[in-house]
């Protein structure tokens, strides 16, 4: 019985040490990431989505205008990372700039 009690005491001490080590090695860095870096990343993602929504709105508006004047966009391509150029069948050209 004494030996079993001694083993249980050592097992309890090892468990406490494991929990402390886990908290120091994993949970604290995870908490720091979630409180700091994650906020920065989520703000950047929100900005990207806002820009994409603006591009979709402009493209939708242009598409509806083209349909109303019976024109169809013939070419749509990326001019650079921040702008989209397009031309219609009547030769009109446009550029949408994403900031």
pLDDT in tens, 59-76: 888 887 776 665 555 555
Residue 18, token pair as written in the block: 């494991």
Nearest to 93 by CA among 82, 81, 79: 79
Whole domain around residue 24: which residue ranges?
A: 2-97
Average pLDDT over residues 68-92: 53
Domain count, the chain: 1
Q: Which residue has the higher pLDDT, 79 or 25?
A: 25
Q: Looking at the predicted structure, is the pLDDT value of residue 44 above 80? A: yes
Stated pTM of the model: 0.41
C-alpha pair distances (Å), 71 with each of 45, 58, 75, 78, 79: 35, 16, 12, 20, 22
pLDDT band at 14 (very low <50, low <70, confident <90, very high): very high
Which residues are bridge partners to 84 per DSSP? Answer: 78, 96
Residue 32, token pair as written in the block: 């720091």
């Amino acid at each position: 019985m004494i030996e079993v009690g001694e083993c249980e005491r050592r097992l309890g001490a090892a468990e406490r040490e494991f929990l402390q080590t886990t908290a120091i090695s994993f949970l604290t860095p995870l908490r720091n990431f979630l409180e700091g870096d994650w906020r920065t990343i989520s703000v950047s993602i929100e900005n990207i989505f806002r820009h994409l929504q603006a591009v979709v709105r402009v493209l939708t508006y242009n598409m509806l205008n083209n349909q109303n004047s019976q024109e169809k966009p013939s070419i749509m391509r990326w001019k650079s990372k921040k702008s989209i150029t397009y031309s219609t069948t009547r030769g009109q050209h446009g550029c949408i700039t994403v900031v």
